[in-house]
Amino acid sequence: MTLPDLTPAQRTELELLARGKQDKSRTMRDLKQPETPEAAHALLLRAGLWTDARTPYADRLGAALNPVTLDVPPFVPEQRLDLTHLDVYAIDDEGNRDPDDAVGIETLPGGLTRLWVHVADVAALAPADSPLDLEARARGATLYLPDRTIGMLPDALVEQAGLGLHDTSPALSISLDLDEDGNADAVDVQLTTVRVQRLTYTQAQERLDAGQEPFVTLARLAAASRELRVQEGALSIDLPEVRVKADEAGATVTPLPKPEMRGVVQECMTLAGWGAAIYADDHAIALPFATQDPPHREVQGDTLPAQWARRRTLARTRFQPAPGPHAGMGLDLYTQATSPMRRYLDLVVHQQLRAHLAGQDGLSGKEVAARVAQAQMNADATRQAERLSRRHHTLRFIAAQPEREWEAVVVDRRGPQATLLIPDLAFDLPLSTPAAPGTALRVRLGDVNLPNLTLRARVVTD
């Protein structure tokens, strides 16, 4: 198709269609093209008006792309438990800019170990129905795109409340007194002051490998807790993960390493959610409790096809103001409590716990349910925008190396159609092949179509 010279008004019209901001286009009709966002996107690429770095998915889904610029109040002095004498570590990926959780231990008499999970006290700065709370609720979650991050809350709040960004940090801390087998003897929630050291997972792993405390004890407690949850039916799903980064010059996809300490920290965060849920249940505090129905079938094995199939058996997590079992976690009750900077429902948990600690009435169960409905709708748009943007930039990465051969595994099939998983990309795609699940193949990827987010795979034979 020969492209005519487009007027500024026509360009604007095409961009609005591509961004999902209008559903009609006279220009597309005149060119006898479909009036769809994908067709407009393709035309803008062919005309050189958009580069392949441009991603319209957040726009189409209504996810906010403007940073939050609301004023952030200072922390108000209040009574806090001083824990600055304890070693505390915020362990994250390299380059993390919003450290909102940290871990540490305290040895207790009688063979118990107190696991401390400290979380940035965001609710002290963003109480319920404040302007910051309303803005975070409207967004639902922080938007993580390969080329930028748009926070649910202002950068100024992160700089003020992030753990380890100052000599000492205010925190809302969840403690669990654990025995050698990982059973909890007591749980508690307190406002604290902590002194936090920031580490990458690699640095923490080096300390664990060297036999240093508290990393050895943290690993032991995490292993015991994980074993207890497995006995209660918790599912473990181990599929490849990658980090996708992009800019105007190109995109990179890097397999995400999985040192033991990553799993240790994840288990500590799971314990914190369980502990917060127990505390709330004991004190009749309405929270957005996370629940999940049991899988509809059991899948055995640790192969990639088994991991793929096991993930497909999981029901979606539901949030409700009353506790209930979470089958995938193997827990009788659970809430997400460790990311109040990044997930709105975690912030609601903190607001409710804070209200209880202050002797105030928090939200009712009905009010919590209303916040769940609104936040989930907005967070779903955020997660979908992230998924589509990651796929877009992964396709850019693939298109830049058309001669490369990729290792792939057949993880599923339905009739003549199989699903391939490329571990180095954490990327799946359909392929017509008689190969059985578990078969390893070498493929070349081509015919990348960014507007439609598609490509084709061709099996390489010797």
Residue 66 lies in a domain: no
Query: Per the omega criterion (within 30 degrees of 0), is the bond before 214 cis?
Result: yes
Domain end residue (candidates: 338, 369, 394): 394
Q: pLDDT at position 194, please?
A: 98
Asked if residue 193 and residue 44 are part of one domain, the reply reads: no
CATH number of domain containing 437: 2.40.50.140
Q: pLDDT at position 423, please?
A: 97
Buried/exposed 100-139: b ≥16 CB within 10 Å, e otherwise: bbbbbbbeeeeebbbbbbbbbbbbbbbbbeeebbebbbeb
Could you tell me if 123 and 154 are in contact, meaning their C-beta atoms sit under 8 angstroms apart? Answer: no
Domain end residue (candidates: 346, 371, 394): 394
Asked if residue 368 and residue 221 are part of one domain, the reply reads: yes
Asked if residue 177 and residue 29 are part of one domain, the reply reads: no
Measured CA distances, 23 to 8, 10, 147 (Å)? 19, 14, 27
Q: pLDDT at position 401, please?
A: 96
Residue 440 lies in a domain: yes
Q: pLDDT at position 1, please?
A: 52
Residue 69 lies in a domain: no
Task: Tell how strand 81-82 and strand 184-194 pair up.
Answer: parallel
Q: pLDDT at position 96, please?
A: 81
Find how far residue 311's CA is from the centre of its chain.
16
Which residues are CB-neighbours of 291 under 8 A, at least 6 positions away? 317, 318, 319, 320, 323, 324, 325, 326, 334
CATH number of domain containing 26: 1.10.10.10
Asked if residue 209 and residue 160 are part of one domain, the reply reads: yes
Measured CA distances, 30 to 38, 47, 163, 271, 381 (Å)? 17, 16, 57, 60, 32
Q: pLDDT at position 2, please?
A: 58
Asked if residue 257 and residue 115 are part of one domain, the reply reads: yes
Q: CA–CA separation, 185 vs 177, rounded Å? A: 5
Residue 445 lies in a domain: yes
Asked if residue 346 and residue 266 are part of one domain, the reply reads: yes
Residue 55 lies in a domain: no
User: Domain total for the chain?
Assistant: 3
Q: pLDDT at position 95, please?
A: 79
Domain end residue (candidates: 394, 413, 431): 394
Measured CA distances, 108 to 115, 317, 404 (Å)? 10, 35, 56
How does pLDDT run along the chain (462 residues), one tens digit per residue? 556 688 999 999 999 999 999 999 999 999 999 999 999 999 999 999 999 999 999 999 999 999 999 999 999 999 999 999 999 999 998 878 889 999 999 999 888 999 999 999 999 999 999 999 999 999 999 999 999 999 999 999 999 999 999 999 999 999 999 998 999 999 999 999 999 999 999 999 999 999 999 999 999 999 999 999 999 999 989 999 999 999 999 999 999 989 999 999 999 999 999 999 999 999 999 999 999 999 988 898 999 999 999 999 999 999 999 999 999 999 999 999 999 999 999 999 999 999 999 999 999 999 999 999 999 988 999 999 999 999 999 999 999 999 999 999 999 999 889 999 999 999 999 999 999 999 999 999 999 999 999 999 999 987
Q: CA–CA separation, 222 vs 245, rounded Å? A: 31
Residue 59 lies in a domain: no
Q: CA–CA separation, 408 vs 364, rounded Å? A: 50
Could you tell me if 441 and 433 are in contact, meaning their C-beta atoms sit under 8 angstroms apart? Answer: yes
Burial class (CB in 10 A: 0-12, 13-18, 19+), 152: buried
Could you tell me if 320 and 371 are in contact, meaning their C-beta atoms sit under 8 angstroms apart? Answer: no
Asked if residue 264 and residue 360 are part of one domain, the reply reads: yes
Asked if residue 438 and residue 410 are part of one domain, the reply reads: yes
Asked if residue 126 and residue 263 are part of one domain, the reply reads: yes
Q: pLDDT at position 347, please?
A: 98
Q: CA–CA separation, 57 vs 151, rounded Å? A: 17
Give residue 14's domain range.
8-50
Asked if residue 214 and residue 127 are part of one domain, the reply reads: yes
- The two three-digit tokens of residue 115, written as one number: 């696991």
Residue 448 lies in a domain: yes
pTM over 0.75: yes
Asked if residue 89 and residue 24 are part of one domain, the reply reads: no
Asked if residue 331 and residue 450 are part of one domain, the reply reads: no
Residue 280 lies in a domain: yes
**How many CA atoms lie less than 13 Å away from 235 in the CB half-sphere?**
25
Phi-psi region of 415 (alpha: psi -120 to 50; beta: other; left: phi over 0): left
